[in-house]
Amino acid sequence: MGFADLSIVEIAEDHHLSVDNVFRLCDRLQISYKTPQTRLALEDVKAIIELIAQEGGPPSS
């Protein structure tokens, strides 16, 4: 399994989400993590980004 070299915090920043929102997505997708700096596998990053896109991106304020 390859690594995308992206951490949870980087995904959150790139998609204008809170780290807690990305943690919730990881939990929904059953993706293991320990900290916001956890580096994720390429397949996991793709799944998270796909879910963000399906849900319409970051929540509106």
pLDDT tens-digit map of 5-17: 899 999 999 999 9
The closest of 9, 13, 58 to 37, measured between CA atoms, is 9
Q: pLDDT (tens digit, 9 = 90+) per residue, 17-58?
A: 999 999 999 999 999 999 999 999 999 999 999 999 998 765
**Could you give phi then psi for residue 58, rounded to 5 degrees?**
-65, 150
Q: What is the DSSP string of the chain?
A: --EEEEEHHHHHHHTT--HHHHHHHHHHTT---SSTT-EEEHHHHHHHHHHHHHTTSSPP-
